[in-house]
Chain A
Amino acid sequence: MATFFQDVYSVWWADLRLLRHLWLRFLITSLVSPLLYLAAFGYGLGRNIEVEGAPYLNFVIPGIIALTAMNTSFNYAGNKLNVDRLFYKSFDELLMAPITGLSLILGKSMIGILRGFVVALLFLLIGAVVTQAQAGPLFLFTLLLTCLTFSFLGIAAALMAKSHQDMATFSSLILLPMTFLGGTFFSVDQLPELMRLFVYIIPVTHASQCLRASFLGNPFPWLSLLVLGGYALVFFAACMQLLRRASV
């Protein structure tokens, strides 16, 4: 058991070393898009609008947090792994190390979780200042689960990809639509029936719903949290399965 945690940390350790000089740049670059979303949608578009009984600004901030956590975790868990596997071949060294597949997958997800969580927290801080709202433990727990879910998705994508282009394609076809449709910028209740059904299939919707309810002090949608957890498990299982097939 101790070896298990040690192995997870060892895998994580290499990714952590790379942060050492780059953390400031990382934070600044990662905050660019959420701040732009905040400016364009929060202040530009929705200044005098109320949605679901809350000022639009308060409504949209948890949505932006959800999509930021999603994108950051996905990218940082997935992109480097993709390069390490296909281009640098350093992933082979991890495959040949005497560690279990479980520690390998968890270790590789940690950097995505860390980066996603830190950026989302930072943006939350900004959001809390401008809205005077508060985020409790449930908010943080959902946030963590969101980061975990999309780190796994990033790893699964990286293990599936046969080229760097595949990774970009995956991003445009899966992540980008989720960014805009996942109940992030608008209320899902306003949507036509069929589209609403679609929106409820995508995982980030459930992250937005939970984060928003907790942020606005509304009743917490436990079912959504459960669905999000379900997605985390599915993506994790996909990672394990893909890892088994990683050797060709």
Chain B
Amino acid sequence: MIRTEKLTKTYNNFRAVDELDLKVEAGELFGFLGPNGAGKTTTIRMLTTLTRPTGGEAWINEFNVSTQKFRAKQAFGVVQQHVSLDRELTVWESMELHARLHHIARAERRRRISELLDYVDLAGHYRNIVDELSGGMKRRLMIARALLHRPRLLFLDEPTVGLDAQVRRRLWDLIRRMNLDGATVFLTTHYIEEAEALCGRVGIIHQGKLIALDRPQELRRKVGMVAVETVSDGKGSDYRYFADRETAGAYVRTLPREVRTLVMRDSNLEDVFIELTGRKVKE
């Protein structure tokens, strides 16, 4: 569904995306995890024809995003990181504009718009001006809009940033549902929990480079399923990883007295990131 070969974007000698090789199969719920500035948005913008790659190539559904833009555009829907709605239109008009631009016939248009506004729980707001909607509602409207032309591939760029926990969970449910309904989903996030909760496979991007790519479980296994976090006087915190609780326990018993705090827990993608880069995702 998505394929990239050495996909690169350089802004005056700065490599925002650096020789990205990636393959996402139809039906996947794929997560692109990385800290702010890692190159996630730039990647999505290249895949959605908004930004021209400076190197390498990319295909959406076998259509080259540089040379077969037109066909590629029909295959995907995208929810951008920033609200990209015309704020002076109503909810319904925003949907209708997208439907018109995608050549959906008039009768079909009405049906699909009502259906999708239902799907994202906005049916009661169809006459509201976009500007009056809350952040979560705008995000849901953008999702409904992205689904309108029935794309087989959906890009979601940090879909839950800035939303409160409850709204975030509802969006997660919606994203899972869309995936179950047959859409391939490519989502970016800098939230560890989000990638772990949603994604079948995760690519970790750091400073424009893909540094890991696998199922969350496998990524954790490579680092170690159990993490021991210690804080000692004058040395700051230290992370060690172990295959299981036994080996971790054996290590803990060897620890010296100066250790002030000790936590033993299941490892997560944050640990994978720390192991690979020496820093935390949110730093």
Contacts and interface: CB of A to CB of B under 8 A. Distances in A.
A3 B52 contact: no
A96 B103 contact: no
Contacts of B103: 3, 6, 98
B93 A247 contact: no
Contacts of B87: 88, 90
Interface stretch (B43-51, B165-173, B181-189, B263-271): B43-51
A70 B103 CA distance: 33
A17 B51 CA distance: 29
Contacts of B82: 89
B86 A98 contact: no
Contact of B97 (A13, A89, A95, A248): A13
A166 interface: no
B102 A247 contact: no
B101 interface: yes
Interface residues of B, number: 25
A97 B83 CA distance: 17
A97 B102 contact: yes
Contacts of B49: 95-96, 247
Interface string B56-100: 000000000000001001100010101111111100010001101
Contacts of A51: none
Nearest to A97: B101
A10 B101 contact: yes
Contacts of A14: 86, 89, 93, 97
A17 B127 CA distance: 13
Contacts of A248: 51-52
Nearest to B100: A10
A88 B73 CA distance: 21
B73 A98 contact: yes
Given A84-B86, A88-B87, A90-B86, A96 B73 contact: yes
A88 B85 contact: yes
A247 B84 contact: no
A99 B69 CA distance: 10
A189 interface: no
A88 B83 CA distance: 7
A90 B73 contact: no
Nearest to A244: B52
B156 to A, nearest CB: 14
Contacts of A194: none
A97 B87 CA distance: 18
A18 interface: yes
Interface of B: 48-52, 70, 73-74, 78, 80, 82-89, 93, 97-98, 100-103
10 contacts: A3-B103, A9-B100, A10-B97, A14-B86, A14-B97, A17-B89, A89-B80, A96-B48, A96-B73, A98-B102
Q: Which 9 A-B pairs have the closest CB atoms?
A: A97-B101, A10-B100, A89-B84, A98-B73, A90-B86, A14-B97, A98-B74, A10-B101, A92-B84
Interface of A: 3, 6-7, 9-11, 13-14, 17-18, 84, 88-90, 92-99, 247-248
Given A88-B84, A90-B87, 18 more contacts: A10-B100, A14-B89, A17-B93, A84-B86, A89-B80, A90-B86, A92-B50, A93-B84, A93-B98, A93-B101, A94-B101, A96-B50, A97-B73, A97-B101, A98-B74, A98-B102, A247-B51, A248-B51
